[in-house]
Structure 1
Amino acid sequence: MDALDALHQRVSTAKLADPAPTPSQREAIFRAATRAADHALMRPWRFLVVEGAGLDQLGELFCQAARHDDPDLSEKDQDSLRRKPHRAPLILVAIARCRENPKVPVLEQQLSAGAAVQNMLNAAFAQGIGAFWRTGKMAYHPVVDEGLGLTEGEQIIGFLYLGTPVKPFHKPKPLDLNQIFTPWPPQ
């Protein structure tokens, strides 16, 4: 797929199934992350690769976090949390690794981590792989952070779900670029 076509047509795909991306597809996705804008070459990101039994463990971690907040959490809600990681055969947990730098504020480092995720979304789409980026309550929960081994200065940017699209990609609706891009100064 042409690079501009991929950028102009990319959409998220929430219905994913096996198989997960192949090793060569993964390498292309992973390499795309490393080309994100990165002031001072800090590489302020890292990624956990979760699949197979790891999806079950992530679901249990989600339950543990939710029970921390609500010890009386219903079994139905716990089952729902256990199933969330199984929405795709592969999840990449995107983590911003922010460090002190007089020239690169924390916000820039977080944005770089987000840009790395966007690059992976684009690389997945260009290869016909379905993907969607989720955050939600579990992305900001200290029990999840601890369970995933985050250290000081690290935070989850999101969960990138990857797999085979169940349905063909839909066409994105065109946007009125004049509503988004305006000349400045006004004339």
Structure 2
Amino acid sequence: MQNDVKLTDYLRDRHSTPVAQIKEPGPSQEELESILASSARVPDHGKLAPWRFIVYRGAVRESLGLEFLKIALQDNPDLADPAQEAERARFTRAPLVVAVVSTAAPHAKIPEWEQVLSAGAVCLNMLMAANAQGYVANWRSEWIAYDGRALTILGVREGEKVAGFIHIGSTDFPTPDRPRPQLSDIVTYAGDGQA
């Protein structure tokens, strides 16, 4: 029963740490594998596993930042210096970035929409699994998730989509909560179900 209370408290207070506040250290290989294994335990109609992971850590994050900058400069040669630095640092803001890649595709029995939702569930599980290991995380997409040139250098295959980039690391920043919707604004009770 005590674990249930802790989980309830966690879910009530769950929030993301801003990427700018994430720093070293990141998870060890063993911790990362635990995070990834926990992330994959989501509803998955048909047992299709319609998602996969790409892990970016170490020097490849800096290399990708240079590639992102090249693409950004192709589209906007007058990109200001701070914006250029933001592109270079896009994947170095956290010690580890994991792409959750949706491989959803038409299927005879399983609607593609359900496969996409499963990938979204993986992203949320990854945030919670990282927190359970003592780390902070942030689920991002940004323009690189929608640009064919960026997707190619990221290792995303034709027909796949990025459900999210999960930035994982540590922080000493006290993350303030943000306004949340009131239940009265988002809940409708059907029939006589109102409490």
Asked if TM exceeds 0.5, the reply is: yes
Residue of structure 2 in register with 1:4 after alignment: 8
Between the aligned partners of 2:79 and 2:23, the Cα distance in structure 1 is 28
Between the aligned partners of 2:117 and 2:154, the Cα distance in structure 1 is 21
Deviation at 1:175, TM superposition (A): 5.0
Does residue 46 of structure 1 match 2:52?
yes
Deviation at 1:141, TM superposition (A): 0.5
TM-score of the pair, normalised by structure 2: 0.85
Q: Is the 8 A contact 2:26 2:169 kept in 1?
A: yes
Q: 2:130 aligns with which of 124, 131, 135?
A: 124
TM-align CA RMSD: 2.2
Between the aligned partners of 2:141 and 2:65, the Cα distance in structure 1 is 14
Q: 1:135 aligns with which of 125, 141, 153?
A: 141
Does residue 30 of structure 1 match 2:36?
yes
Change (3 A) 1:183 1:174: same
Residue of structure 2 in register with 1:16 after alignment: 22
Between the aligned partners of 1:38 and 1:13, the Cα distance in structure 2 is 28
Identify the structure with bigger relative contact order (alpha carbons < 8 Å, sequence gap 6+).
Answer: 1
In the TM superposition, what are the counterparts of 1:80-99 in structure 2 within 5 Å? 80-99=86-105
TM-score of the pair, normalised by structure 1: 0.88
Give unmatched runs, 5+ long, in structure 1: none
Between the aligned partners of 2:17 and 2:183, the Cα distance in structure 1 is 24
Q: Is the 8 A contact 2:106 2:112 kept in 1?
A: yes
Does residue 166 of structure 1 match 2:172?
yes
Does residue 179 of structure 1 match 2:180?
no
Deviation at 1:151, TM superposition (A): 1.9
Q: Is the 8 A contact 2:69 2:84 kept in 1?
A: yes
Q: Secondary structure at the match of 1:59?
A: helix
Q: Percent identity?
A: 35
